[in-house]
Structure 1
């Protein structure tokens, strides 16, 4: 089964696979995004992060490749009374317009093999404006032991070194690797090995 079919199948569930509340790392760090920013949320799925960012007053473009997920995200936005811009696209083939966003958010988009991931991270570097911020969270290698969500392929997981290298040209780069209990719907639940990046261009 290819990635598109796998995610369409997962998102076809009536419930929200990753819940409707924002990712904890995003909620904790989003205060670093200036008010009213133009924000790209990549692989935004069912909308929990993009919708929350719109609730904070940002101008959000929510990107995903699953029409089923994006339909759920649109419903969530309507329920919350916010408006977002939607992009249905393959993250590996989208146009990373130069310096188009004040902030880019990427939460658990770890379905990409290393070569494609490198291209996407390079696109994120290109599309954020000077002075703009990038917030990324994903799973680290120890997540394979926990099995509480995320990919089963070691090469898809993050390390601090990997993220630091991808954003080495930025003027500020902070990373952290740690274990924490997360409760983000049935898709991410339990003790987890997390890797975070906060980078300012």
Structure 2
């Protein structure tokens, strides 16, 4: 899906996926140590604003300038600030060792690009830094309650474990759950969830 597609999707004044953060992120956010957080494919900003409210310095990256403009408006309405960067993840470089947390919620990419981004995620975390991901699995196509129509854009836990080699998994599961996020994601969904950290050098894994 092109950036133009997302600009058009986000053009309405309402928030397509709502203004409340993703449930799985909420349940895992306490694992992120103090420090800066990077939100990938952040869209209209609901997850980035939630993390900023928790005291993190948050950078939100997305290909849609329209979505990130709404993210800034949501942040202002909540009394927090964000750094936003309009960029395609194919062109965005994650700074190595820079992030206490990296968040990827519904960031569905072509497999080769996803693998490259996830390698950068591993390198981009500080020692002890945490990566949180929720995405649709190929089984989601039978539900039709959100997500990509191309199964190659979906994710599986075995593939993610391979792509995120170097991280220690606290949570790694494929489940079905009710997702209620605005009009964009509503209903029973097949998802994969990951919460993992980069071990400190010489520390426990």
Task: Write the deviation string for residues 138-183 of structure 1: whole angstroms up to 9, x where unpaired.
Answer: 0011100001000000111110101111112223453111111111
Is the contact between residue 169 and residue 194 of structure 2 (CA under 8 Å) also seen in structure 1?
A: no
Provide structure 1 residue ranges, at least 5 long, that are not aligned to the other structure: none
SS of the residue corresponding to residue 12 of structure 2 reads coil
In 2, distance between residues paired with 1:164 and 1:171?
Answer: 9
Is the contact between residue 164 and residue 173 of structure 1 (CA under 8 Å) also seen in structure 2?
A: no
1:77 aligned residue: 75
Is the contact between residue 167 and residue 173 of structure 1 (CA under 8 Å) also seen in structure 2?
A: no
2:97 aligned residue: 99
Output the TM-score relative to the length of structure 2: 0.93
Task: Write the deviation string for residues 48-76 of structure 1: whole angstroms up to 9, x where unpaired.
Answer: 00000000111111111100001111100
1:8 aligned residue: 7
Distance 1:159 1:15, change over 3 A: same
Q: Structure 1 residue 6: deviation in Å?
A: 1.1
SS of the residue corresponding to residue 142 of structure 1 reads helix
1:136 aligned residue: 133
In 2, distance between residues paired with 1:52 and 1:156?
Answer: 26
SS of the residue corresponding to residue 179 of structure 1 reads strand
2:189 aligned residue: 192
In 1, distance between residues paired with 2:189 and 2:135?
Answer: 10
SS of the residue corresponding to residue 104 of structure 1 reads strand
Provide structure 2 residue ranges, at least 5 long, that are not aligned to the other structure: 199-205
Output the TM-score relative to the length of structure 1: 0.95
In 2, distance between residues paired with 1:140 and 1:157?
Answer: 5
Aligned length: 198
SS of the residue corresponding to residue 13 of structure 1 reads coil
1:32 aligned residue: 31
Question: Which among 26, 46, 49 is matched to residue 48 of structure 1?
Answer: 46
In 2, distance between residues paired with 1:88 and 1:61?
Answer: 11
